[in-house]
Amino acid sequence: MTVVALLLPAPLAASAAAASPGAPDESRPVYSYDRAVRESVWVDTGIDGDGDGRADRVAVDVVRPREPAEQGRRVPVVMDASPYYSCCGRGNESQKKTYDAQGNPVQFPLYYDNFFVPRGYAVVLVDLAGTNRSDGCVDIGGRSDIASAKAVVDWLNGRARGYASRTGRAAARADWSTGAVGMIGKSYDGTIANGVAATGVPGLRTIVPIGAISSWYDYYFAQGAALFGSGPDALADRVESPAARGRCQAVQRALADGAPRNGDWTPLWSERDYLKDARKVRASVFAVHGMQDLNVRTKHFGQWWDALAGQGVERKVWLSQAGHVDPFDFRRESWVTALHRWFDHYLMGYDNGVEREPMADIERAPGQWTTDRVWPPRATAPTTLRPAPGPAPGVGSLGTRAAPAGAVESFTDDPRLDESDWASRVDETTPAKAGFTTPPLTADLRLSGSSTVRLTVTPSTASAHLSAVLVDLGPAVIRDYAASGEGIRTLADRTCWGSGTTGDSGCFQRTEADTASVAHTVFSRGWADLGHHAGLSHGGPLTPGRPYTITLGLAATDHVVPAGHRLALIVAGTDARLVEPASTTPRVTVDLAGGEASLPFVGGSRAFARATRHSDPAYERPGAPLNGLRPPAPALLR
């Protein structure tokens, strides 16, 4: 079949495509999708998580082109391991797996199968242990979750056992696989990709984590402060199959007992911290994250990116203005093209230059993107800014000069208020926050990376939560990340991305940017429980009237504060809807002389000096509140 021969087999495709004049530089849709092999396999994980006396088997649904198998050729694998295929669905349309009367897979959620199978890839969708048709128990990013997916990578490489049924003994072998695997997924799915990569499993060539967690503690807590929502046991109950709920009660109790809501770091969190094993990562990483993702905050991306930086891992990143949104829904055509080239290079071996292209794509305004050769840019350097008193209580300045000894600001925690309330009245004396602003900038000022804020504070009660947020004070049109679509609007018409069948069309509802006009934008946040000032291992009550020093880590970002706008640092207590309040509502006194913020300016201190050189320190502050977006209510991780 000459048309099929246009797609060269991996891994030989790279050398052949590079060496042969006129050879294709990308995989082409030359294989039949409707004739593709669709099958289910159960892979032995080697773990008896549900305690039934036999090793758990996880269900693996496979769709792969038939023609290569008929020719004795093998194909690489795009793999998405998820707990959501039956409970909640995947993608903007919440697609679930479907099966025919004989139990054979019909619909594979998302577009991966429709697009990649005709191009010579297999697509493998894994039900994590305890979900859908798999044995075992969900353990929320722990040993069982990661082993579920790792075992499938091993099976695809001939190192694990697979079976043709859930309980039978007939073997199923992946003799059609080259062993080259790329894991992809949003949210929980991308988190599993991070965790499997951190095992260093051979055969995993690349991962594409989208809005993914790098350490589960940081999903449920922020430096000891409980984030809104329930614990990991509740998430396990949500995603587990009905059968698993009955047999996995002991695992759920262990999740609840191991994750107390007091914010202490426990062994449960150590097991679910992938950062500590970043040195084992050998797969390339194409990370995607919404800079306004308040579900899986960009702290997860930032610390994962930094941990991989010294390991020689090839990396790429897209940072959008959206919230917890898949790039298929905010930059569809460019995303599918970029992902295609990424998988072609790392899984099929095409020398298409993708690894030599700019490392970062950053969304500056809805639908407007810039690129950086390296991220953060090499000119980025931490610069220390200091809060100082201003013209009125709680209305201070932010600059390079330290406040005089004895200078203080105070606020009283008000759990009813959030970052938008604080920012909208940053130029007014209000009881619940202390705000510090630069004068209007005379040049653009870009922050790229993670920030820290070091504070010495004195609480009036035995408990206190702190928030620190960075704000761009000035008008802008941004994605409406606080709306239900978190920055996108879903339309009625559809576009098709690959081939389809009656049961799996490959056509998806189109989207567009959902925008809002604002007068301020909160672009980075950090929270902490002051009772954990000495570390996360054990928090405790505070002594009222005693000063404590703590450093808050703020989430990674890439934001340009334009000329004419002001940069603000706001310090306050509970950030409503995002952080659970402390047991008391203290009055907190901030020692300004001991406070400082380390901010990652592109151009370092010189860039800040240039942007503030001709500013009038006696500028007139606006009198009216500045409107912004209110943080959305907590959402399910998906």
Residue reference for tokens 């990308």: 26
Tell me what percent of the residues of the chain surpass a pLDDT of 70. Answer: 96
Quote the tokens at residue 423. 């920012």
Q: How many CB atoms lie within 10 A of CB 367?
A: 14
Task: Please confirm, yes or no, whether 187 is among the known catalytic residues.
Answer: yes
Total Cβ atoms within 10 A of residue 370: 12
User: Which residues of the chain does CATH 2.60.120.260 include?
Assistant: 380-480+516-612
Other beta carbons within 10 Å of 580:
21
CATH of 380-480+516-612, one of 1.10.1060.10, 3.30.360.10, 2.60.120.260, 1.20.1270.360: 2.60.120.260
- Statement: residue 416 has pLDDT above 90: yes
**CA 177 from chain center: how many Å?**
29
Cα–Cα separations (whole angstroms), residue 513 to 239, 329, 487, 528: 30, 9, 6, 33
Strand partners, 381: 601
What residue type is assigned to position 207 of the chain?
I
Q: Is 557 a residue whose pLDDT tops 60?
A: yes
Question: Could you tell me the pLDDT band of residue 100, with boundaries at 50, 70 and 90?
Answer: very high
How far apart are the C-alpha atoms of 363 and 221, rounded to whole Å?
28
**Considering the chain, what is the average pLDDT of its residues?**
94
Residue 352 to residue 156: CA distance in whole angstroms: 25
CA atoms within 13 A on the CB side of 21: 0
Catalytic residue among 187, 320, 420, 451: 187
Q: What is the DSSP string of 284-321?
A: EEEEEEETT-SSS-HHHHHHHHHHHHTTT--EEEEEES
- pLDDT class for 638, splitting at 50, 70, 90? confident
pLDDT of 413 > 80? The answer is yes
3-state SS assignment for residue 489: strand
What's the pLDDT band for 310 if we cut at 50, 70, 90? confident
State the average pLDDT over residues 631-638. Answer: 81
Q: Note the pLDDT of residue 23.
A: 61
Say whether 324 is catalytic: yes
Is residue 323 helix, strand or coil? Answer: coil
Identify whether the C-beta of residue 324 lies closer than 8 Å to the C-beta of residue 295. yes
For tokens 């706008």, what's the residue?
A: 565
Cα(85)–Cα(400) distance, rounded to whole angstroms? 52
Instruction: Name the pairing type of β-strands 162-163 and 395-399.
Output: unpaired
Q: Is 277 exposed, middle or buried (0-12, 13-18, 19+ CB in 10 A)?
A: middle
Q: Where in the chain is the domain with CATH 3.40.50.1820?
A: 4-372
Name 459's Cβ contacts closer than 8 Å, sequence gap at least 6: 530, 542, 544, 548, 586, 587, 588
Whole-number pLDDT of residue 9: 34
Pairing of the two strands 548-561 and 408-412: unpaired
Of 135, 154, 293, 329, which residue is the catalytic one? Answer: 293
Topology annotation, domain 4-372: Rossmann fold (3.40.50)
Tens digits of residue pLDDT in 476-520: 999 999 999 999 999 999 999 999 999 999 999 999 999 999 999
Which three-class secondary structure state does DSSP give residue 336?
helix
The pLDDT, as a whole number, for residue 10 is 38
Given a cut of 60, whether residue 623 has pLDDT beyond it is: yes
Residue 367 has pLDDT above 60, yes or no: yes
Name the amino acid, one letter, at 595: G
- Which pTM value belongs to this model? 0.95
Instruction: Look at 275 and 626; give whichever has higher pLDDT.
Output: 275
Please name which of 92, 87, 209 lies closest in space to residue 141, comparing C-alpha atoms: 209
The Cα–Cα gap between 514 and 478 comes to 8
pLDDT tens digits, one per residue of 3-60: 333 333 333 333 333 434 556 789 999 999 999 999 999 999 999 999 999 999 999 9
Task: Write down the residue that tokens 């959305």 correspond to.
Answer: 632
User: What are the distances in angstroms from CA 149 to CA 45, 59, 68, 128, 387?
Assistant: 9, 10, 25, 7, 48
Reported as a single tens digit per residue, the pLDDT across 484-494 is 999 999 999 99
Contact 514, 488 (CB under 8 A): yes
pLDDT tens, residue by residue, 577-600: 999 999 999 999 999 999 999 999
Q: Which of the following is catalytic: 56, 113, 241, 324?
A: 324
Strands 587-591 vs 408-412: parallel, antiparallel or unpaired? antiparallel
